[in-house]
């Protein structure tokens, strides 16, 4: 799969000659043959590694929790969450104290219980790996909250086996519920897709419309928690009940990103920790005060007006969406066509110049919310607002505000300074125990096959690395050997049923991220 909508500036059109037509027919035949070969290959993948391309819903691995099942307290027996009513309505004396307690059947299950959720994350390379780790933690939380979660990470770097093994341990969802689960698939893309890495999720969503209850597209630095997902589901149901299912397709419940405004000029250390005293969450993308004149708006629809507000600048970097909305937006007319991946709008005389934001802004927000496109109205709940705010993990963008060419920055504003690459960073203390170092140390002490990642049928059931698109011939020479070695090591790891051997553990924990891209 190559990005199908790349710019070809300077394309000229001439009338085709007979030889051009012959060549065209030849190419078309070759293309169809190519498709046949590729689909045969995909079919093969379907039955081997790639759960995402499989026709049926994914088998979910439940770790070693099955034998424990007997001891898990069930609703109505033993542990039980306090009923919401009991908490919210303190006994005022008018009610008999010995009110009947709810029976098992009347205890509602969690809003996240058994939800089938497909999450796609655009994560170009290892630059933001620490943030991606936090993001993945949010989705394993979602499995423990009861949902069946399939995560697909689009990446251009080959993850070494030791890192995959660490993630296998960290992201194993030992929730015994048969309707909970977690899988992670790393979809390898060629690095030359560049900014178009954000495009791939859309086709997957539409291919899988019938298999999930919720779809999430996000980047590798936005912390999404079970609360975010539960709040989205709750509000989406509320919108439907307020305006009806059909009109509800004109809206989508959104999110607002936040950061913490640590002082501009201070790194927090023991000596400067009091500088945290005034630090607070900031919605840095929504500047302009007072907010309800400059950055936020009320909703016109009378049924929604009391409960929701919207942002004038509805960039989110991510979105959540239900299959019903995806269907409605596919059929929403020529300006929308939400299922059709295409380039962000640009200056017709200069296609390199975006007019409404970059490709990632386009795919995550502008195509959905832009008035000239799908024109969906973003909704943020008045009373649960904070539950639909998400942490932008790099915590850096608030520093841009008011700088030249950035939000709130006029021509006379100070420049947004970038490093020229000559900066030398002081390394941290070598005694600090790194995550991967610790993982390898544990595995050296407890070696051998323990079957933690072997599912039903004795097959490897851990993280999938799917490399269907990668022809290593196109990879630069110095990266090729490294990439091939990692892919081979991964295949060997899978065929062993997923455990590390000595050569996998000889990883340089300080250097493995360099020169990893294909």
Ligand X SMILES: *[C@@H]1O[C@H](CO)[C@@H](O)[C@H](O)[C@H]1NC(C)=O
Distance of closest approach, residue 264 Cβ to ligand X, in angstroms: 11
Least distance from ligand X to the Cβ atom of residue 268, Å: 11
Phi first, then psi, for residue 251 (nearest 5°) are -130, 160
Using rule CB under 6 A, residue 280 touches ligand X: no
With respect to ligand X, which residue has the nearer C-beta, 277 or 411? Answer: 277
Please tell me whether residue 436 binds ligand X under the rule CB under 6 A.
Answer: no
Distances (CA, A) of 312 to 288, 375, 377, 379, 463: 10, 13, 10, 11, 40
Structure tokens at 185: 């698939």
Is 275 near ligand X (CB under 6 A)? Answer: yes
Task: Closer to ligand X by CB, 28 or 266: give it.
Answer: 266
Q: Which residue is nearest to ligand X (CB)?
A: 278
Check residue 399 and report its DSSP letter: G
- Quote the DSSP letter at residue 157: B
State the nearest-atom distance from the C-beta of 274 to ligand X, in Å.
5
282 contributes a contact to ligand X by CB under 6 A: no
Question: Residue 301's Cα: distance from chain center in Å?
Answer: 31
Shortest Å, Cβ 272 to ligand X: 9
- How many helical (H) and strand (E) elements, i.e. helices and strands, does the chain have? 14, 16
Cβ at position 271, least distance to ligand X in Å = 12
Report which of 24, 52, 53 is spatially closest to residue 40, judged by C-alpha positions: 53
Q: Which is nearer to ligand X, 275 or 282 (CB)?
A: 275
Given the complex with ligand X, which of 234 and 399 has the nearer CB atom?
399
Smaller CB separation from ligand X, 275 or 470: 275
| 151, 194, 207, 450 from 468: Cα distances, Å | 17, 18, 17, 29
Q: Quick one: 48 or 276, whose CB is closer to ligand X?
A: 276
Tell me which residue of 124, 127, 184, 159 sits closest to 483, measured CA to CA.
159
Give CA 212 to chain center in angstroms.
15
Of 8, 13, 87, 274, the one binding ligand X (CB under 6 A) is 274
How far is residue 283's CA from residue 375's CA, in Å, rounded to a whole number?
23
One-character DSSP codes across 342-391: -PPPEETTEEEEESS--HHHIIIIIHHH-TTTT-PEEEEESTTGGGGEEE
CA distance 377 to 250: 6
Nearer to ligand X, 275 or 287 (CB): 275
* C-alpha 8, offset from chain centre: 30
In the bound complex, what is the minimum distance in angstroms from residue 80's beta carbon to ligand X? 44
Q: How many Å apart are CA 208 and CA 57, to the nearest integer?
A: 10
The number of angstroms, rounded, from the C-alpha of 155 to the middle of its chain's C-alpha atoms is 12
CB of 280 to ligand X, least distance (A): 11
Q: Under DSSP, is residue 34 helix (H, G, I), strand (E, B) or coil? A: helix
287 is a contact residue toward ligand X (CB under 6 A): no
CB closer to ligand X, 243 vs 275: 275
Which residue, 275 or 401, is less far from ligand X as judged by CB?
275
Phi/psi-derived region of residue 497, left when phi > 0, alpha when psi is between -120 and 50, beta in every other case: left
The residue written with tokens 């597209």 in the block is: 217
If the CB atoms of residues 277 and 423 are measured against ligand X, the closer one turns out to be: 277
Show the site string, 361-400: x = touches ligand X by CB under 6 A, - = not: ----------------------------------------
Q: Of the ranges 271-279, 438-446, 448-456, 478-486, which one interacts with ligand X (CB under 6 A)?
A: 271-279
Q: What is the DSSP letter of 460?
A: B
Piece of the chain touching ligand X by CB under 6 A; list 205-213, 251-259, 270-278, 442-450: 270-278
What would you report as the CA-atom Rg of the chain, rounded to the nearest whole angstrom? 26
277 forms part of the interface with ligand X (CB under 6 A): yes
- The answer to whether 344 and 351 have CB atoms below 8 angstroms apart is no
Please answer whether residues 154 and 145 qualify as being in contact, where contact means their C-beta atoms are separated by less than 8 angstroms. no
Provide the minimum distance between the beta carbon of 263 and ligand X in the complex, in angstroms, as a whole number. Answer: 7
Q: How far is the CB of 266 from ligand X (least distance, A)?
A: 9
Site string for ligand X, 220-259 (x = CB under 6 A): ----------------------------------------
Name the segment binding ligand X (CB under 6 A); options: 200-208, 269-277, 285-293, 381-389: 269-277
278 binds ligand X (CB under 6 A): yes
Q: Do 466 and 153 form a contact (C-beta atoms < 8 A)?
A: no
Backbone φ and ψ of 201, nearest 5°: -60, -30
Please, which residue, 275 or 407, has the CB nearer to ligand X?
Answer: 275
Q: Which stretch binds ligand X (CB under 6 A): 164-172, 273-281, 319-327, 371-379?
A: 273-281
- Of the candidate spans 275-283, 383-391, 410-418, 454-462, the one that interacts with ligand X by CB under 6 A turns out to be 275-283
- CB nearer to ligand X: pick between 178 and 263: 263
CB of 278 vs ligand X, minimal distance in Å: 4
Number of residues that bind ligand X (CB under 6 A): 4
CA torsion 291-294-300-301 (nearest 10°) is: -50
Question: What residue ranges bind ligand X (CB under 6 A)?
Answer: 274-275, 277-278
């Amino acid at each position: 799969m190559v990005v199908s909508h790349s710019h070809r500036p300077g394309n000229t059109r001439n009338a085709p000659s007979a030889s051009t037509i012959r060549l065209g027919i030849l190419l078309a035949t070759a293309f169809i043959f190519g498709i046949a070969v590729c689909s045969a290959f995909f079919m093969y993948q379907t039955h081997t590694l790639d759960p995402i391309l499989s026709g049926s819903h994914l088998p979910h691995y439940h770790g070693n929790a099955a034998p424990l099942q007997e001891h898990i307290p069930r609703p109505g027996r033993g542990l039980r969450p306090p009923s919401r009513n009991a908490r919210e309505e303190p006994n005022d004396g008018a009610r008999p104290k010995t009110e009947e307690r709810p029976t098992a059947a009347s205890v509602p299950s969690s809003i996240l219980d058994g939800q089938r959720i497909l999450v796609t994350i655009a994560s170009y390379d290892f630059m933001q790996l620490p943030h991606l780790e936090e993001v993945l933690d949010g989705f394993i939380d979602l499995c423990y909250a009861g949902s069946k979660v399939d995560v697909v990470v689009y990446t251009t770097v080959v993850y070494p086996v030791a890192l995959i093994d660490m993630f296998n341990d960290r992201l194993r969802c030992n929730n015994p519920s048969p309707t909970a689960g977690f899988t992670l698939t790393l979809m390898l893309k060629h690095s030359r897709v560049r900014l178009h890495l954000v495009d791939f999720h859309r086709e997957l969503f539409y291919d899988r419309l019938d298999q999930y209850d919720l779809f999430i597209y996000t980047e590798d630095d936005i912390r999404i928690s079970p609360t975010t997902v539960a709040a989205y589901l709750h509000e989406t149901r509320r919108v439907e009940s307020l305006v009806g299912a059909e009109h509800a397709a004109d809206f989508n419940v959104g999110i607002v990103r936040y950061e913490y405004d640590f002082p501009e000029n201070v790194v927090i250390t023991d000596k400067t920790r009091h500088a945290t005293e005034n630090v607070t969450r900031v919605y840095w993308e929504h500047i302009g005060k007072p907010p309800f004149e400059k950055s936020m708006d009320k909703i016109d629809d009378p049924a929604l007006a009391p409960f929701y507000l919207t942002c004038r600048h509805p960039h989110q970097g991510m979105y959540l969406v239900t299959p019903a909305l995806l269907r409605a937006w596919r059929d929403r007319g020529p300006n929308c066509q939400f299922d059709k991946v295409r380039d962000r709008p640009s200056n017709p005389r200069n296609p390199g110049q975006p007019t409404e934001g970059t490709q990632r802004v386009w795919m995550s927000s502008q195509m959905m919310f832009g008035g000239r496109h799908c024109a969906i109205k973003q909704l943020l709940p008045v009373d649960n607002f904070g539950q639909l705010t998400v942490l932008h993990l790099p915590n850096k963008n608030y520093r841009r505000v008011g700088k030249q060419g950035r939000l709130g920055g006029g021509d006379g504003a100070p420049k947004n300074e970038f490093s020229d690459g000559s900066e030398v960073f002081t390394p941290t203390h070598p005694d600090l125990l790194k995550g991967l170092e610790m993982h390898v140390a544990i595995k050296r002490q407890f070696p051998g096959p323990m079957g933690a990642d072997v599912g039903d049928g004795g097959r490897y059931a851990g993280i999938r690395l799917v490399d269907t698109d990668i022809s290593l011939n196109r990879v630069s020479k110095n990266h090729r050997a490294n990439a091939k070695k990692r892919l081979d090591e991964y295949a060997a790891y899978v065929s062993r049923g997923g455990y590390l051997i000595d050569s996998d553990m000889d990883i340089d924990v300080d250097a493995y991220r360099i020169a990893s891209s294909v």
